[in-house]
Structure 1
Amino acid sequence: MIKKLRRRLTLHYAALSGLVLLATCVSGFLLSARQQRAADELLFQTHLSDLTGRLQFDRRISGDWLARFEAENRLAVFLWDAGQPMKFEGAAWLPTDRRGALARAARESAFAAGFRPEDRPLRYAAAPAALEEDDLRFRGVAAAFPLEDGGWLHLLLLRDLAPQRAALKMLALRWTALFFAAGAALTLAGRWLSGRAAAPVRDSLRRQAEFVAAASHELRGPLAVITSSADLMAEGMQGPYLANICGEARRMAGLVEDLLTLAGAEAAAAPPAVPVEPDTLLIEAYDRFAPVCAQRGLRLCAALPPSPLPPVAGDPERLMQILSALLSNACAYTPPGGTISLSGRVQRGRVLLQVADTGPGVPGALREKIFERFYRAEPSRTDKAHYGLGLPVARQLAALYGGRLTAGEAEDGGALFTLSLPVPTCRTAPRRDEKHRAAGPGPGSGQPRSAR
C-alpha cells in the first residue's frame, strides 16, 4: 500500500513538474530563437550598410575584397551597372554555375516585390524571406543608388540561411537536453519528496498495527479469565471465580475507557475549554490520592506558591484525569516509605503543575518511550492494573488544550513529571481565599500539605 501510494505521488509530481518544465523550455526556446534571428538580422543589416557605403564612396573595389567579404559572412553579392551585370566570379563557397540562376531569380523576386530603383535616389526593398536554389536557402535585400555620371548601380545581397538553421537546430537540441535532464532530476526529487510525504502514513500504519496488536494482547488476558471462570461457575464451582469475573471486567472497562479517550484525543474531540484554577486542581488531586498513598505507606505533599496561580483554559475533568494518571504512576513505582510531591508555579507565561516521587526515576533514554502506548518502564512488573496507557492518555489530553507533558528527574533522583499549560492573555486572578472557599481548608501560605 505504501509503495503504491509513493509511486502514485511520484507520478503526479513528475507529471505536474514536467508540464511546468515543458512550458518553461518551450518558452525559453522561442525566446532564444527570436533573439538569435534578431541578432542575425542585425548583423545582416550591418553587412549591407558596410557594403553600400563602400560602393558609394569607393568606385574601385577589388574582386578579392568582395570574395573575402562573401566567404567570411556566407553572403552572395550581385551588382548591375546601368542594367548590365558586373563580372564577378564570387567566393568559392557558392559554385559558379549556380550564381547566374540565383542572381536572375533574386532580381525577379525583388522586382516582383515592388522594387523600382528609378523611383528615388536610394531605395532598399526586401526580396522574399526565403529564396531557394536547389538545397540552398537565402534571405536577400535589393538596393539601388545613383552614380556620379548619372547612372544607377543595382545591388542584390543574399545571405545563406544554413548557419542560422544550424544555430537554431543546436539551440533546440540544447533545450531538449535541458528538458530531459531537468525532468530526470525532478523525477528523482519527486521520488524523494514522495518518500518523505509517505513516511508519516507509514509510521501511522505501523503504530496502528502495534496498537491493535498490543490492545488485543491486553484484552486477551481478561477475556480468558472471564471465560474460564464462567465455565467453572456453570459447572457449579463458584468459589472465587465470581470475584475474578468482576475484577477482570472492571479492568477491561478501564482499558476500553482509556482506548476511547485516546481515540477522542486523536480526533480532537475535546470538550470546550473553560477557565480552570490550578490551585483547586492540585488540592482536589491531593484529597483524592491522600488515602491511597496512606494505605500504601507513602507520604503525599502538596505545595502551592504564596500568590494564586493564574487560571488556565481547559476542561476540569480532563485536567484532573492527567494529574490522576501522574499520581497513579507515582504510587505504582514509589517504594513504601517514599514521598510523592504535588506543586505548581508560573514560568514564562505558562503554569507548571509537577508531580515528583522518590522512586527509581526514569532513565534519560526512556523519557519519551514511556509515553508510547502499552510501554512499561519495567517489563517484569506483574501489576495488571497498569497496562501502559495512563501516560499516553495524559499526554494526548494535555495536547488538546495546548499543553505539554514531559518527564524528567527530581532533585532526589526520582521521577518528575511536568504538565505545562498556557496562560490566557486576558485574565483576572481571583483572591486565594475566595477561590478555595468552597473547596475546604487550603494548604496554607506556601506551606506543603502532607498526608498524615
Structure 2
Amino acid sequence: MIKTLRMRLTFINSTITSLILFVICLFALQISETQLNSRNQLAFENQFQTIAYQLQTGQKIKTTWLAQLEVDNKLIIDIEDNGQPLFFKGSWTPLSPREDLLHSAHQIALETYHFDKNASLTSSLTITKQLFKFQGIHGEYYRVGIARIPSTTGTYTLTLLQDLSDEKMNIIETRVLFILISFAGILLLGLFSYWFAGRALVPIEENQHKQVQFIAAASHELKSPLTVIRSSNAVIRDQQHLDTTRFTSQIEKECTRLARLIDDLLLLATADAHTWSIHKTSVELDTLLIDLLDTFLPLAHKKAQQLVLNLPDAAIRPLSCDQERIEQTLAILLDNALYYVPNGGHITIDLIPTAISCVIKVIDNGPGIPPEHAHHIFDRFYRIDASRKDKSHYGLGLSIAKEIIHLHKGTLSLNSTLGEGCTFIVELPY
C-alpha cells in the first residue's frame, strides 16, 4: 500500500512540476528566439541603412568592403545605378543562384507588397524601401530589403538579401538545448519527487507500523483476561466445586482489569482525535503533592521503601491546571517507581518552582532503564520486560501521562542511568 501510494504521489508530483517546467521552458525559448530575431533584424537594417546612406550621399563604395560585408554576414548585395547593375558579382556562392534569388525577391516585392524597384520616385530626398522574408528554391530562407534611393546623379536601387541558414541553425540548437534541459529537469524532478514522496510517507509508514503493533498488543492484553473469565465461568457452570467464590472473584477482578484497559484505550483514542479536553482550575501543587504522598505511603511501607517529599521553603503561587489529570500523571509515575524499585529502595519527589514554570521530579534508586529502551519508554504497550507476567501494568501509563502533560503545554522527560535509577521530570508552565 505504501509503495503504491509513493508511486502515485511521485507520478502526480512529477507530472505537475514537469508541466510547469515545460511551460516555463517554452516561454523562455519564445523570449530567447524573439530577442535573437530582433537583434538580427536590427543588425540587418543597420547594414541596409549604411549602404543606402553611402549611395544617397554619393560616397565611393569599394567592392572590397562590399565583399567583406557579404562574407561576414552571409549577405547578397545588388546595386543598380539608374537601372544598370554595378560591377560586383558577389564574394560567395549561395545555395540557390544569385540571379534567381534576386529575381524572386523583386517579383515578391512587386506582387505581394506592390513595391516596384523600377518605379519613378515622387521625392528627391526620401528613400522608399520594403523589408520582408522569403524562401529560396532549395528551401533556405532569406531576409530581404529593397530600396529606391535618390541621389545627385539619379536613382539607385539597392537589394539586400541575408541568408538565414545560420540563424535558423542557432534557433534549432537553442531548441535542442532547451529540450535537453527540460528532459534533464523532468528526470531530476522525477527522482526528487520519488525521494520526497518517500520522506513524506515516513510518518505514515511509522504510524501504520505503530498501529499494527498497537492492535496486536491490545489484542494480546484483552485476550488474557477473557481467557480467565471463560475458564472460570466454565468451572462454575459445570458445578464441579460447591464453593464458587474464588472463581467469581477472578471474574470480577478480570472484568475490572478489562474496564481499566478499555478506559485507558478510550482515553488515548480521545487524545489522538484531539477531542480530549482539560478543565483548568487554580491548584496549589504543594498541597496536591502532600495529599498524593499520604495515598502512596502505605504502599511504600509494604515494601520497606522510603518515600520522601521535598517542598521549597518559600510559598509558591498556584498553578492553572486540571487537578485530576495532574494527580493522575503523578500517580502513574509514583506507581511505576514503587513497582520497579526493590524492597528497601528510596523514592524522592522534588517540587522546584522557577520564574516561568513548576518542575516536579520523581527520583528513584531502582535498576534504571537501559539506553536502548529509554527512547521507547513513552510508547504505548511498551514494557522493558515483555515476558513478565505482571497483570497490573499494561504499558499505557506513561503514554497517558505524556498526553496529559502535553495538553498542559508542558514537558515530561526522563533521565536514567542503568543500575542507579530514574528521574522523571514534569515541567508545567504558569
- TM value normalised by structure 2: 0.90
Of 165-174 and 113-122, deviating more is 113-122
- Aligned twin of 1:439: none
Asked if 1:353 is matched to 2:360, the reply is yes
2:76 maps to which residue? 76
- Would you say how many aligned residue pairs link Structure 1 and Structure 2? 421
Which aligned pairs between 1:27-46 and structure 2 lie closer than 5 A? 27-46=27-46
Q: Where in structure 2 are the equivalents of 1:44-443 lying within 5 Å?
A: 44-55=44-55, 60-94=60-94, 98-111=97-110, 112-114=113-115, 118-120=121-123, 121-148=125-152, 150-236=153-239, 237=241, 238=244, 240-277=246-283, 278-347=285-354, 349-409=356-416, 413-423=420-430
RMSD of aligned Cα (Å): 2.4
Distance 1:143 1:174 in 2: 38
- What is the alpha-carbon distance in structure 2 between the residues aligned to residue 136 and residue 180 of structure 1? 30
Q: 1:279 to 1:239 in 2, by over 3 A?
A: closer
Question: Does the residue aligned with 1:127 lie in a helix, a strand or coil?
Answer: strand
Instruction: Give a deviation string over 1:58-78, Cα, whole Å, max 9, x none.
Output: 755454443332222111111
Cα distance in 2 between the residues matched to 1:345 and 1:358: 20
User: How much does 1:48 deviate?
Assistant: 2.0
Q: Name the SS of the counterpart of 1:240 in structure 2.
A: helix
Output the amino acid matched with 2:133: A
Query: 2-side partners of 1:130 and 1:310: how far apart?
Result: 93
TM-score norm. by structure 1 comes to: 0.86
Where structure 1 has 5 or more consecutive residues not aligned to the other structure, the ranges are 424-452
Cα distance change, pair 114–56 in 1 and its aligned pair in 2 (3 A): closer
Higher relative contact order (CA 8 A, sep 6+): 1
Query: Structure 2 CA distance, aligned partners of 1:40 and 1:68?
Result: 18
Secondary structure, aligned partner of 1:361: coil
When residues 183 and 351 of structure 1 are mapped into structure 2, their CA distance, relative to the original with a 3 A threshold, is: same
1:49-105 Cα offsets, whole Å, 9 max, x none, are 44334545675545444333222211111111112223432233226x722232233
* Offset of residue 168 of structure 1: 1.2
- C-alpha separation between the residues in 1 aligned to 2:122 and 2:356? 92
**What SS does the corresponding residue of 1:354 show, helix, strand or coil?**
strand
Deviations 1:262-292 (A, max 9, x none): 1112222222441342223312321221222
1:270 counterpart SS class: coil
Q: Give secondary structure in 1 for the equivalent of 2:275.
A: coil
* SS across alignment from 1:223: helix
CA distance in 2, matches of 1:16, 1:352: 51
Aligned partner of residue 340 in structure 1, secondary structure: strand
Tell me, yes or no, if the aligned pair for 1:405 and 1:420 is still in contact at 8 Å.
yes
